[in-house]
Amino acid sequence: MSELKPKVYKKHNSFDNISSRIKEAVDYQKMRSIRVLRDYHDGKIPIQHSIKNKSNFAEILKRVENDLTSEIKDPLQSRFEISPFAAEEMYTYSDEELIRFFYHRYRYEIFPQNFELDNYPPALQIEPSSLCNYKCVFCYQTDSNFFKKTNSSMSMMSFEFFKEIVDEINGEIEFVTLASRGEPLMAPDISKILEYSNGKFLNLKLNTNASLLTESKIHSLLSGSVKTLVFSADAAEEPLYSQLRVNGKLDKVLKNIELFRTIREKSYPNTKIITRVSGVKVTEKQDMVSMEKVWGGLVDQIAFVNYNPWENIYESSANGQTKPCSDLYRRMFVWADGTTNPCDSDYKSELNVGKFPDLNISELWQMRKYTNLREAHKSGNRQLVHPCKGCAVV
Using one digit for the tens of pLDDT, what is the confidence trace for 44-74? 988 766 665 577 898 999 999 999 999 877 7
Q: How far apart are CA 122 and CA 302, in angstroms?
A: 25
Give the CA distances from residue 362 to residues 124, 162, 174, 359, in Å, rounded to whole numbers and listed in that order: 11, 16, 14, 8
The pLDDT of residue 48: 66
Percentage of the chain exceeding pLDDT 90 = 70
Average pLDDT (386-393) is 91
Helix-then-strand count for the chain, H and E: 13, 10
Q: How far apart are CA 74 and CA 103, in angstroms?
A: 22
The pLDDT of residue 1: 35
pLDDT tier at 15 (50, 70, 90 boundaries)?
low
CB-count burial class (<10 Å; 0-12, 13-18, 19+) for 314: middle
DSSP secondary structure code for residue 235 in this structure: -
pLDDT tens string 275-286? 999 988 888 898
Q: How far apart are CA 266 and CA 178, in angstroms?
A: 26
Contact partners, residue 139, CB within 8 Å, separation at least 6: 132
pTM equals 0.92
Q: How far apart are CA 312 and CA 310, in angstroms?
A: 6
Checking if the pLDDT of 178 tops 90, the result is yes
The pLDDT of residue 78: 84
Percentage of the chain exceeding pLDDT 70 = 91
Q: How far apart are CA 203 and CA 225, in angstroms?
A: 9
Q: Closest Cα partner for 311 from 139, 145, 180?
A: 139
DSSP secondary structure code for residue 383 in this structure: G
pLDDT tens string 112-141? 999 999 999 999 999 999 999 999 888 888
Query: Under the phi-then-psi rule, with left for phi > 0, alpha for psi from -120 to 50, and beta for the rest, what region is 115?
Result: left
Strand order in the sheet with 301-306: 15-20, 301-306, 274-281, 228-232, 203-208, 175-178, 123-126, 331-334, 339-341, 354-355
Q: How far apart are CA 153 and CA 337, in angstroms?
A: 7
The pLDDT of residue 316: 84
Checking if the pLDDT of 2 tops 50, the result is no
Residue 25: phi, psi to the nearest 5? -80, -30
3-state DSSP helix/strand/coil % of the chain, to nearest 5: 35, 15, 50
Checking if the pLDDT of 20 tops 70, the result is no
Mapped to the 3 state alphabet, what secondary structure does 273-326 carry? CEEEEEEEECCCCCCHHHHHHHHCCCCCEEEEEECCCCCCCCCCCCCCCCCCCC
Checking if the pLDDT of 224 tops 50, the result is yes
Top pLDDT among 282 and 37 is at 37
Checking if the pLDDT of 145 tops 90, the result is no
Checking if the pLDDT of 4 tops 60, the result is no
Give the CA distances from residue 349 to residues 50, 80, 177, 303, 390, in Å, rounded to whole numbers and listed in that order: 33, 32, 19, 29, 15
Average pLDDT (168-187) is 95
Residue 343: phi, psi to the nearest 5? -160, 165
Helices 95-114 & 25-41 angle (0-180, nearest 10): 100
Of 3-17, 71-85, 151-165, 293-307, where does mean pLDDT reach its minimum? 3-17
Residue 168: phi, psi to the nearest 5? -80, -45
Checking if the pLDDT of 216 tops 50, the result is yes
The class level of CATH for 123-390 reads alpha beta
Q: Closest Cα partner for 91 from 104, 105, 101?
A: 101
pLDDT tier at 13 (50, 70, 90 boundaries)?
low
The pLDDT of residue 29: 95
Contact partners, residue 89, CB within 8 Å, separation at least 6: 101, 203, 227, 228, 274
pLDDT tier at 21 (50, 70, 90 boundaries)?
low
* DSSP strand pairing (331-334 vs 339-341): antiparallel
**Do 64 and 56 touch, CB atoms closer than 8 A?**
no
Quote the mean pLDDT of the chain.
90
Q: Closest Cα partner for 209 from 233, 229, 193?
A: 233
The total of other beta-carbon atoms located within 10 Å of residue 311's CB is 11
Domains of the chain, residue spans = 23-113, 123-390
